Amino acid sequence: MRDKNFEPILDAYQLTEGSIVKEKDHDEIFEIGVYDAEKRGYTAFPFEDGIRFDDFTMVISESELMDNYLIESKKDDEKAEHDLLSDEF
């Protein structure tokens, strides 16, 4: 998971439940949970080797995510999915 491509978060619409984010300065990876309006931030779960750890969560504000985190690139996944669909026909 650490060798996957990550890109800057350019738009808050990228922050969807299940998205994988990584701190810019560290190798810590998190999976984004739901937005908590009361706490004004997204829940984040530690994520490693494809496993989400539910025993620890933290809340990260949208601005902090956009400034200090990178999001997993979906471009490779979309291309692979498109290739699978085009091979069927």
In angstroms, rounded to a whole number, what is the distance separating the alpha carbons of residues 16 and 72? 12
Report the CATH number of the 6-88 domain.
Answer: 2.30.30
Residue 43 contacts residue 50 (beta carbons within 8 Å): no
Lookup result for tokens 């997204």: 42
The predicted-structure confidence for 56-82, as pLDDT tens digits, reads as follows: 999 999 999 999 999 998 765 555 454
- Whole-prediction pTM value? 0.75
pLDDT at site 76: 55
pLDDT at site 86: 56
pLDDT at site 27: 87
Buried b or exposed e, range 46-79, using 16+ CB within 10 angstroms: bbeeeeeeeeeeeebeeeebbeebbbbeeeeeee
Backbone angles phi, psi at 56, to 5 degrees: -140, 130
pLDDT at site 7: 94
**What are the residue ranges spanned by the domains of the chain?**
6-88
Given a cut of 80, whether residue 33 has pLDDT beyond it is yes
